């Protein structure tokens, strides 16, 4: 299994690479449309601003090959912004269009709590999850974000910071997590291992 | 289900060695950065901070190498700081494996640095480090390792930093740092209530009671300490068990 890490020039891709390496998986960074078209499995890590990610996908002409790969059933894991990009729009950059693979939009968490939602939080399972298999129900995961998708139909697990939001989504070959499994200790490693197994 | 309070060990490094100051002066060696990082990762630390206390231009490659080697040991977030003066400095730290960067003196000198970093990496990656010293009825912003006053009010600067795009405040009490008398609760509480972002309390920790107090009365979101962890005066695991027993939400390591 070779995981293609979509590298759009922002954030700490190295930490995802290291996490995959520890699990014995091969990975390769790329931002070329040709590589994405040929990938066996795709991982879109994301930190920073929603606009930077969406603009990079379009400027590098990655949107079409990415959508095509997902349509063909190539396993995909979106992390943080990589999950948010799957929705229609985001309040963080309302003028831009997301990937429209999931219904709904990404909104700011309520200002009644401290933002960013930064640190370790737990999940609430909404329905059986393939990604969370073998992970204790009270496990903590590391979050660092201010925007999130509402707990819509594709969410298999929610978390809460001022409001419930989608923490894990699964739809056929498309997976997404709002937290950072690559920085979430043992439960995070287990989740990545589950993704690798599902993708194999 | 709620956000856990974080325990963050800090490695003040000079080259590859961890050093520890007392009231910001008088340094002593506390061990190898990579070995300590691996230990804290295993013991249940929630994040790790690595600061370059020398922060000189010619020593920069050594610090970046330390970030790389420390990051390789971690399955938790890493924050790097000390001597980050420009966007390029921050890029180098992030490329080396840091998830967040802290800025302090350079941000006081040129606040726009905070916005530049925030635009590039997102607010969640920008930690504004503030060194605070009590003067009469307020706290003064201190720079250059806590040695010089910047003639600014800590509460005003914290709010301004957040407006400019800082996603977190690392608040060190210069009065308490290295004293092991406990965190500065009035300072931390005042800053935490003045800003909309998480606040990491730093300076003065020794006993588990100090952590319980800073999370409850101090309204801190995270607490940072160095020597008590390096010297095995306090185990992170036992500290978290102590806090958990007092109904303070923490992530207990498995």
Mean pLDDT, chain B, integer: 92
Give residue B61's domain range.
6-245
Mean pLDDT of A87-97: 96
Q: Are B60 and B18 in contact (CB under 8 A)?
A: no
Residue B252 within a domain: no
pLDDT at position B22 is 47
pLDDT at position B229 is 94
A161 in contact with B, Cβ within 8 Å? yes
Query: A154 by DSSP, 3-state: which?
Result: coil
**For residue A38, what pLDDT band results from cuts at 50, 70 and 90?**
very high
**For chain B, how many structural domains are there in total?**
1
For B123, which of A111, A116, A183 is closest by C-beta distance?
A116
Query: A1 by DSSP, 3-state: which?
Result: coil
pLDDT at position B27 is 57
Is the omega angle on the peptide bond into residue A116 within 30 degrees of 0, that is, cis? yes
Q: Is the dihedral of CA B50, B54, B55, B57 positive or negative?
A: negative
Whether the predicted pLDDT of A90 surpasses 90: yes
- The pTM for the full model equals 0.93
Closest CA to B102 of B248, B239, B224, B253: B224
Better-predicted residue by pLDDT, B232 or B163 = B163
Contact flag B121-A118 (C-beta cutoff 8 Å): no
Residue B253 within a domain: no
Mean pLDDT of B80-87: 94
Q: What residues in A contact B121, CB-CB < 8 Å?
A: 10-11, 47-48
Residue B241 within a domain: yes
Give residue A192's domain range.
2-199
Mean pLDDT of A8-27: 86
Contact flag A160-B1 (C-beta cutoff 8 Å): yes
- Per residue in B211-224, pLDDT (tens digit) is 999 999 999 999 99
Contact flag A14-B71 (C-beta cutoff 8 Å): yes
CA torsion B189→B191→B193→B197, rounded to 10°? -120
**For residue B30, what pLDDT band results from cuts at 50, 70 and 90?**
low
| Residue B98, domain CATH | 3.20.20.70
A94 in contact with B, Cβ within 8 Å? no
Whether the predicted pLDDT of B24 surpasses 60: no
- Per residue in B115-130, pLDDT (tens digit) is 999 988 889 999 999 9
pLDDT at position B21 is 55
Backbone angles phi, psi at B200, to 5 degrees: -100, 120
- Using DSSP bridges, classify how beta strands A76-79 and A174-177 pair: parallel, antiparallel or unpaired: parallel
A73 in contact with B, Cβ within 8 Å? no
Mean pLDDT of B223-229: 94
Label residue B166 exposed, middle or buried (CB < 10 Å: 0-12, 13-18, 19+).
buried
Q: Are B219 and B189 in contact (CB under 8 A)?
A: yes
**For chain A, how many structural domains are there in total?**
1
B137 is catalytic: no
Mean pLDDT of B75-94: 94
Whether the predicted pLDDT of A105 surpasses 80: yes
For B1, which of A118, A122, A180 is closest by C-beta distance?
A122
Phi-psi region of B188 (alpha: psi -120 to 50; beta: other; left: phi over 0): alpha
Closest CA to B99 of A186, A118, A162: A118
Mean pLDDT, chain A, integer: 94
Label residue B25 exposed, middle or buried (CB < 10 Å: 0-12, 13-18, 19+).
exposed
B131 is catalytic: yes
Residue ranges of the alpha helices (H) in B1-77?
33-43, 60-71
* Residue B44 distance to chain A (closest CA, Å): 9
Phi-psi region of B178 (alpha: psi -120 to 50; beta: other; left: phi over 0): left
- Per residue in B33-77, pLDDT (tens digit) is 999 999 999 999 999 999 998 777 777 888 999 999 999 999 999
| Residue A185, domain CATH | 3.40.50.880
Mean pLDDT of A112-132: 96
Which residue in B46, B131, B140, B177 is the catalytic one? B131
Comparing alpha-carbon positions, the chain A residue that sits nearest to B43 is A185
pLDDT at position B23 is 46
Label residue A162 exposed, middle or buried (CB < 10 Å: 0-12, 13-18, 19+).
middle
Share of chain B above pLDDT 70, in %: 95
**For residue A11, what pLDDT band results from cuts at 50, 70 and 90?**
low
């Amino acid at each position: 299994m070779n995981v293609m890490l979509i590298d759009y020039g922002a954030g700490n891709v190295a930490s995802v690479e290291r996490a995959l390496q520890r699990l014995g998986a091969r990975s390769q960074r790329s931002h070329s449309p040709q590589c994405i078209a040929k990938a066996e499995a795709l991982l879109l890590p994301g930190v920073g601003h929603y606009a930077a990610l969406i603009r990079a996908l379009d400027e590098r002409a990655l949107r079409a090959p990415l959508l095509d790969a997902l349509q063909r059933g190539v396993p995909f894991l979106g992390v943080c912004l990589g999950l948010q990009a799957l929705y229609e729009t985001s309040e963080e950059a309302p003028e831009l269009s997301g990937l429209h693979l999931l219904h709904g939009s990404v909104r700011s968490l309520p200002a009644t709590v401290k933002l960013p939602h930064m640190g370790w939080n737990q999940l609430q399972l909404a329905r059986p999850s393939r990604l969370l298999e073998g992970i204790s129900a009270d496990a903590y995961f590391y979050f660092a974000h201010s925007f999130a998708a509402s707990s819509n139909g594709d969410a298999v697990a929610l978390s809460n910071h001022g409001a419930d939001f989608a923490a894990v989504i699964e739809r056929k070959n498309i997976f997404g997590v709002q937290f950072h499994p690559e920085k979430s200790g043992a439960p995070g490693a287990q989740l990545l291992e589950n993704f690798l197994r599902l993708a194999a | 289900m709620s956000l856990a309070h974080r325990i963050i060990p800090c490695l003040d490094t000079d080259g590859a060695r961890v050093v520890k100051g007392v009231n910001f002066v008088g340094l002593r060696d506390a061990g190898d950065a990579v070995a300590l990082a691996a230990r804290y990762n295993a013991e249940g630390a929630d994040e790790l901070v690595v600061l370059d206390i020398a922060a000189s231009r010619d020593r920069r490659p050594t610090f970046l190498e330390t970030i790389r080697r420390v990051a390789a040991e971690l399955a938790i977030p890493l924050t790097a700081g000390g001597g980050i003066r420009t966007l390029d400095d921050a890029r180098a730290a992030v490329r080396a494996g840091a998830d967040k960067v802290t800025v302090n003196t350079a941000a006081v000198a040129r606040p726009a640095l905070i916005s530049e970093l925030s635009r590039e990496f997102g607010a969640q990656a920008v930690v504004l480090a503030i060194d605070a010293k009590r003067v009469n009825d307020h706290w003064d912003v201190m720079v250059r390792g806590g040695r010089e006053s910047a003639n600014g009010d800590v509460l005003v600067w914290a709010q301004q930093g957040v407006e400019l795009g800082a996603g977190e405040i690392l608040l060190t009490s210069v009065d308490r740092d290295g004293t092991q008398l406990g965190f500065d609760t009035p300072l931390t509480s005042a800053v935490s209530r003045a800003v909309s972002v998480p606040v990491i309390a730093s300076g003065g920790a020794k006993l588990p009671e100090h952590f319980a107090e800073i999370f409850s009365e101090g309204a801190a979101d995270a607490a940072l300490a160095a020597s008590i962890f390096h010297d095995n005066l306090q185990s992170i695991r036992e500290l978290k068990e102590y806090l958990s027993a007092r109904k303070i939400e923490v992530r207990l390591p498995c």
